């Protein structure tokens, strides 16, 4: 019994200490607030090139190979010289071996047009017989890959995320990937 209550006491004391430490910590804490600016647009508000890009991303969903997720994603990239390239997600029975539409498109663009920066990347997703109502959100790995292209070509990549109800416009991938890890850490 005595051992039990001593143990209990020990636990309550260390719990109190922990609370105190947390309290002091939260009083001292400085905060870093990160803001991302996302413009909310509709298709009608886009210029002709952006409309073409969104149409290209939607069209690219048709070439998606997504038998496992039934989630078809298409992307279209506008290059510095005005060329538009597109791609889609390509899945594999060994799940991690597949790639997202953004990466397929980006790797294709940089392989075929090595000297051209990507200026805008549009993305659309189609599932269960319809395009998403809300804008598709690129996965973390794709954000990291897009960041590398921004850095490599020293040009921000504008991103257009399509949804039937609205389209998100993001001026640089940095807005979608705060506190990112990049080559500067490796110098």
What are the catalytic residues? 102
Tell me the closest approach of the beta carbon of residue 6 to ligand THU, in angstroms: 53
Q: Which is nearer to ligand THU, 127 or 180 (CB)?
A: 127
88-107 footprint of ligand THU as x/- string (CB under 6 A): -x-x------x-xxx-----
66 makes contact with ligand THU (CB under 6 A): yes
Tell me the closest approach of the beta carbon of residue 152 to ligand THU, in angstroms: 21
Tell me how far apart the alpha carbons of residues 126 and 143 are, in angstroms, rounded to a whole number: 20
Q: Which stretch binds ligand THU (CB under 6 A): 14-22, 111-119, 134-142, 150-158?
A: 134-142
Q: Which structure tokens are listed for 57?
A: 């991303």
Q: Which structure tokens are listed for 141?
A: 């790995």
Q: Which is nearer to ligand THU, 100 or 173 (CB)?
A: 100
69 makes contact with ligand THU (CB under 6 A): yes
Q: Which of residues 144-183 bind ligand THU (CB under 6 A)?
A: none
Nearest CA to 77 among 44, 113, 36, 41? Answer: 113
Q: Which structure tokens are listed for 22?
A: 């947390």
The answer to whether the beta carbons of residues 78 and 53 sit under 8 Å apart is: yes
118-137 per-residue burial string, b: 16 or more CB within 10 A, e: under 16? bbbbbbbbbbeeebbeebbe
Q: Which structure tokens are listed for 177?
A: 């990937």
Query: By the criterion CB under 6 A, which residues form the site for ligand THU?
Result: 66, 69, 71, 73, 89, 91, 98, 100-102, 123, 136, 138-139, 142
């Amino acid at each position: 019994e005595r051992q039990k209550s001593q143990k209990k006491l020990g636990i309550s004391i260390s719990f109190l200490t922990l609370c105190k430490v947390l309290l002091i910590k939260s009083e001292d804490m400085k905060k870093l607030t990160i803001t991302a600016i996302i413009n909310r647009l509709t298709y009608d508000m886009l210029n002709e090139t952006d409309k073409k890009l969104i149409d290209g991303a939607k069209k690219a969903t048709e070439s998606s190979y997504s038998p496992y997720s039934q989630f078809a994603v298409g992307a279209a990239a506008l290059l510095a010289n005005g060329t538009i390239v597109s791609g889609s997600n390509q899945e594999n029975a060994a799940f991690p071996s597949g790639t997202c539409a953004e990466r397929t498109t980006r790797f294709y663009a940089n392989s075929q047009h090595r000297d051209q920066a990507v200026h805008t990347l549009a993305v659309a997703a189609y599932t269960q017989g319809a395009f998403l109502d809300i804008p598709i959100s690129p996965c973390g790995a794709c954000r990291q890959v897009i960041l590398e292209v921004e850095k490599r070509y020293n040009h921000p990549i504008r991103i257009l995320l399509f949804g039937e109800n609205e389209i998100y416009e993001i001026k640089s991938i940095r807005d979608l990937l705060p506190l990112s890890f990049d080559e500067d850490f490796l110098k």
